[in-house]
């Protein structure tokens, strides 16, 4: 691996180590940061399973890392956690012309943009699904034969679509309050229209429900959704994912969590359930 990983921070945490790295990304053409939690079981030749966490709108690699309380569980289960940023950043990177939070910086939507001026830097699918995994495999004690992926909101959309678009790669897939069908909500219409252009057929290649309808599959799926989430009805629409999974025969564990909202307090409350769900599937995954 030619890329140099620069260590931004290292903090001992639950017997393991929370690290933040910076590196030059060939895909985005920018410096990118990501967070990596190494559980105590990693190192000295031992590789551990990896769980990816893709964050939501406005987030960086930091939100999940400092707010979710996931390291305690990951240390217990021997899981590495990788949390990427949500978009390219830097002076050369264009942002939403109105400075809105739901497009541009912090809102890469885990797609490779095809439209100017976004296409040069906004290549978050290739970054998260190809460049960063290769870097993680080369630089960290990660067992890439045992990977899970989860995410929140825009990152829930990212986790499910990347799993559907890379069949067989992820033994476990889950989400907190995912955008279930971006082609059917204002956030998704704005982002996919902006990054991919007006042809809605292109959008469907990055829509969990449309991908499932088109035959893409994951072994099973776990989703938590707060009932007091402000974005539930207009943006998240878990019933669309529920219907798509039901039609396709994908076992979906959809838990409607009474009174929970869209915040990291919601994620923190249930991240242990998700990580245990991932660990169980990663334990059973065939070793490469």
H or E element at residue 278: helix 264-284
Torsion (CA) 280, 284, 287, 288 in degrees, nearest 10: -90
DSSP string, 90-159: STTS---TT--TTSBTTB-TTSB--STTTTTT-BHHHIIIIIHHHHHHHHS-EEEEEEEEEEETHHHHHH
Other beta carbons within 10 angstroms of residue 61's beta carbon come to 23
Spatial CB neighbours of 266, under 8 Å, sequence gap ≥ 6: 176, 177, 224, 226, 229, 257, 260
Q: Which two tokens stand for residue 94?
A: 């264009």
Q: Contact positions toward a copy of itself, by CB under 8 A?
A: 11-15, 18, 66-67, 69, 71-72, 226, 228, 257, 259-261, 263-266, 268-269
Spatial CB neighbours of 164, under 8 Å, sequence gap ≥ 6: 208, 211, 212, 216, 217, 218
Q: Which residues are catalytic?
A: 153, 229, 262
d(CA 240, CA 184): 9
CB 96 within 8 A of CB 50: no
CB 56 within 8 A of CB 154: yes
């Amino acid at each position: 691996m030619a890329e140099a990983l620069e260590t931004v921070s290292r903090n001992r945490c639950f017997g393991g180590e929370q690290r933040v790295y910076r590196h030059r990304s060939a895909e985005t053409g920018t410096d990118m940061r990501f967070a990596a939690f190494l559980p105590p079981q990693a190192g000295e030749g031992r590789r551990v399973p990896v769980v990816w966490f893709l964050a939501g709108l406005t987030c960086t690699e930091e939100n999940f890392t400092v707010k979710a309380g996931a390291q305690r569980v990951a240390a217990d289960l021997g899981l590495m956690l990788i949390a990427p940023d949500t978009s390219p950043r830097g002076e050369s990177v264009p942002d939403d012309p109105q400075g809105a939070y739901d497009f541009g910086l912090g809102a890469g939507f885990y797609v490779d943009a095809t439209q100017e001026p976004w296409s040069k830097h906004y290549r978050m699918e290739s970054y998260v699904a190809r460049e960063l995994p290769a870097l993680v495999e080369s630089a960290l004690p990660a067992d890439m034969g045992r990977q899970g992926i989860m995410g929140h909101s825009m990152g829930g959309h990212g986790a499910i679509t990347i799993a559907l678009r890379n069949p067989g790669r992820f033994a476990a897939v889950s989400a907190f309050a995912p955008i279930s069908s971006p082609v059917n909500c204002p956030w998704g219409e704005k982002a996919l229209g902006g990054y991919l252009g007006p042809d809605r057929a292109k959008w469907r290649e990055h829509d969990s429900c449309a991908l499932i309808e088109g035959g893409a599959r994951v072994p099973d799926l776990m989703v938590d959704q707060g009932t007091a989430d402000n974005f539930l009805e207009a943006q998240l629409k878990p019933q669309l994912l529920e219907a798509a999974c039901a039609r396709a025969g994908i076992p979906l564990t959809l838990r409607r969590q009474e009174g929970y909202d869209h915040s990291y307090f919601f994620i923190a409350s249930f991240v242990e359930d998700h990580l245990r769900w991932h660990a169980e599937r990663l334990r059973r995954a065939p070793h490469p």
